[in-house]
Amino acid sequence: MKLYDTHAHVNLAAFKEDREEIITQALQAGVIINNVGTQKDTSKKAVDLTKGRENVYAVIGLHPVHTISQEIDEEESHFISREEHFDYEYYKALAGDPKVVGIGECGLDYYRLPEDKTLEEVKTTQKQAFLEQIRLAKELDKALVIHCRTQNGSVDAYEDILELLKTEKPPRFEIHSFTSNWDMAQRFLELGGYIGLNGIITFDKSGVLKEVIKNCPLERIVLETDAPYLAPPPYRGKRNQPEYVQYVAQYIAEVKGLSFEEVCEKTTLNAKTLFKI
């Protein structure tokens, strides 16, 4: 049974000791992998990891947290982001590789604010990089992989992304690691988008994401891990990996009252349609 992990980061340093083994295990388990870049070096690494491998693809782009240098200190991440301005020609050349199937992860992240920047300064910088990546996705007819993280208790970044999508109209897109409510999900679906779901759904206690799963047509859902982050039970608190996408599929099957096989088959087809594979 094929599964498609549409969003993993086996290209990051968290896998430097056993990267080859993790990829091999996933492929042997029938998992197709998109390794997703966060800036120039990790995007190049994502492309490198496709070489000589079937069912391994790359998504390249600049993550919003890397548009401004800042300290990232969370449960699973502790680092200083390296500031980068989006280099359109560099990423365009890198996207010439046939295994590059998407642009991203790009988008807006208002969760963190550097001490020396206002929210408006952060918004302006992130929006500029996001718009450039939308333009590149449109020029190259690539799927757009969108990161969105709001300030606590807000939907501000989702609202801003919706407005940009309505104006810019990328050819195909997904909202990666969706964490908002069903009303918000519907607004992205109305624009033709896909909803990316990962291990968060298995430990969300609010019931909000369960409602999204129940209501969202299976034809508009794609699966992901966001490895090495957000591992689902029974690996909660440990390093996530592409093979664990099966637990996301199992949870969706349970909530929607479908077979595991049907969820695997349809979400894999969705991903192949989104990324034109």
Domain count of the fold of the chain = 1
pLDDT computed for residue 70 by the predictor: 62
Does the annotation list 176 as a binding residue? Answer: yes
The model's pLDDT over 137-178, given as tens digits with 9 standing for 90+, comes to 999 999 999 999 998 878 999 999 999 999 999 999 999 999
The structure's pTM equals 0.95
Does the annotation list 147 as a binding residue? Answer: yes
The model's pLDDT over 217-229, given as tens digits with 9 standing for 90+, comes to 999 999 999 999 9
pLDDT computed for residue 119 by the predictor: 84
The model's pLDDT over 38-90, given as tens digits with 9 standing for 90+, comes to 999 999 999 999 999 999 999 999 999 999 866 544 445 544 567 899 999 99
CA distance 121 to 117: 6
Does the annotation list 265 as a binding residue? Answer: no
Which residues span the domain enclosing 252? 3-274
Which phi and psi angles does 58 have, rounded to 5°? -130, 145
CA distance 246 to 211: 20
CATH number at residue 173: 3.20.20.140
pLDDT computed for residue 77 by the predictor: 52
The model's pLDDT over 116-125, given as tens digits with 9 standing for 90+, comes to 788 899 899 9
Cβ neighbors of 41 (< 8 A, separation 6 or more) are none
Does the annotation list 7 as a binding residue? Answer: yes
pLDDT computed for residue 74 by the predictor: 46
Residue 109 and residue 147 in contact, taking contact as beta carbons nearer than 8 Å: yes
CA distance 130 to 108: 7
The confidence band for 128, taking pLDDT boundaries of 50, 70 and 90, is very high
Cβ neighbors of 93 (< 8 A, separation 6 or more) are none
Percent residues over pLDDT 70 in the chain: 95
